[in-house]
Structure 1
Amino acid sequence: PIEDVAYERKETPKLRHISRSELKRMMETPLPDPMMELARRTFIFSSLTGLAYADTRALHPRHIGTTSEGRRYIRIRRAKTDVEAFIPLHPIAGQILDLYNTTDDDRPVFPLPVRDVLWYEVHGMGVALGMKENLSYHMARHSFGTLTLTAGIPIESIARMMGHTNIDSTQVYAQVTDRKISSDMDRLMERRKPAAGKEAAG
């Protein structure tokens, strides 16, 4: 009978990301080592554009454009899905771009090393900045997804910016932010309990 069939609950994938305050701390802390500083800048850039490592490494000046209103953007096909991502540039992402190659289309924008080297530098940067989590470059893309959703940007726009093949991929970030809101509310209620007890006693 159907009553004996166990309900199998599908777990939401755990998307590791950094918080807004951690990203702010990263922005405010230049690093003396040149390679680690490159890792810091490109991690911030990916946190503000949603570009994965492969797409950041493939970024060339031809992928950067300007609208008739003077707003800069990136238009690039994602290496993983071949879906076009259209990303209006955050001013800080634009400032980072301008530190590198934005004119010679024979060279990429960022002089990024191979993946393993950059991952090592990102991990070292996390340690240097006192991050609790074991930092990896892909956390930058996840951070973009969660931070933009938290900021109230429509999920359809985020899907376009992230180059997702369908809205289901983006929906995962909504589930992550919903859980965060729930846990924040739980903590708020826990803090209010002692206060409520004092009021009742008074």
Structure 2
Amino acid sequence: MISYEYIDGLNTFMQTAHQCKNNGAVNLLCCLKNFILYAIRNEWIEKNPFRYYKMKIDKTNVKVPLTKSELDTLIHKSLPNDRLDRIRDVFCFCCLTGLAFTDADNLRKEHLTTDEHGTLWIHKPREKTTVMSRVPLLPYPIKVLEKYRHDPELQLKGKLLPVPSNQKMNAYLKEIADICNIPKTLTTHLARHTFATLAIEYGMPIDIIAKILGHANTNMTRHYAKISEANISREMQKIGKALAV
């Protein structure tokens, strides 16, 4: 029987025995909460054990996306070996397409299309939700795809990008961050955050970003696209110009 005490104990267990951070534990508990709500709707259980249980995200520990300057450094930095070079290519590809790690891993030739204007697109259902992502490709992602187009190992697998396991990717990204002097924790998911944040900063409408990210609605997109100081400064300058005497 799942009770308030069980949930509290599970939270403690995840953060101690499994050394799970607060935000990670909250995300897992949210999954359990959604299942509980599903069970209540189907009348499998009567009471909601989460009713009085408070879960709070630690906003001081939220991952900070890359700035344009940091992304430029990452793209152009000379790396010491092919292993890190391949990881950098995949990460930056995701930063400039908004693809999640698993979608980049499962990207195949049939997901690429060219429109009547000659623009290369990714049209791919997301692995997580099956919602279609529609991504027009910028020059750098096209360059990455071309770089690995004739890779024999990838051709054998039918894939387009040299994506390792998520664990290896995150470990290698830490090495790359140190080499590039980027004081942030680079992870596979940070690339998606970076894309959304930079798109917002450059004025892309939130509904367009949602289509690229493969979100069913813009509420999901707003989770990624935080308001940055660059946005605040730009909008304040608009007011300043309007009020100038």
For this structure pair, what is the TM-score category when the shorter chain's length is used for normalisation? 0.7 to 0.9
1:16 Cα deviation from its structure 2 partner = 2.5
| Partner SS, residue 121 of structure 2 | strand
Task: Check whether the contact 2:123–2:133 (CA below 8 A) recurs between aligned residues.
Answer: yes
1:102 Cα deviation from its structure 2 partner = 7.3
1:32 Cα deviation from its structure 2 partner = 2.4
Q: Which has the higher contact order (CA 8 A, sep 6+)?
A: 1
Task: Check whether the contact 2:107–2:160 (CA below 8 A) recurs between aligned residues.
Answer: yes
Residue matched to 1:111: 162
Residue matched to 1:134: 185
Cα distance change on mapping 1:165 and 1:85 into 2, 3 Å: same
1:40-79 deviations in whole A, cap 9, x for unaligned? 1111100000001100000011111100110001011111
| Partner SS, residue 86 of structure 1 | strand
Residue matched to 1:89: 137
Cα distance change on mapping 1:52 and 1:102 into 2, 3 Å: farther
1:156 aligns with 2:241: no
Task: Check whether the contact 1:102–1:109 (CA below 8 A) recurs between aligned residues.
Answer: no
**More displaced, 48-57 or 115-124?**
115-124
Residue matched to 1:61: 109
- Provide the C-alpha distance between the structure 2 equivalents of 1:165 and 1:144, rounded to a whole number of angstroms: 18
Task: Check whether the contact 1:17–1:139 (CA below 8 A) recurs between aligned residues.
Answer: yes
TM-score normalized by the length of structure 1: 0.78
Structure 2: which 5+ residue stretches go unaligned?
A: 1-53, 235-245
Task: Check whether the contact 1:52–1:141 (CA below 8 A) recurs between aligned residues.
Answer: yes
Residue matched to 1:29: 77
| Of 93, 102, 106, the match for 1:45 | 93
Residue matched to 1:177: 227
1:172 Cα deviation from its structure 2 partner = 2.6
Cα distance change on mapping 1:167 and 1:102 into 2, 3 Å: farther
TM-score normalized by the length of structure 2: 0.65
Task: Check whether the contact 1:12–1:172 (CA below 8 A) recurs between aligned residues.
Answer: no
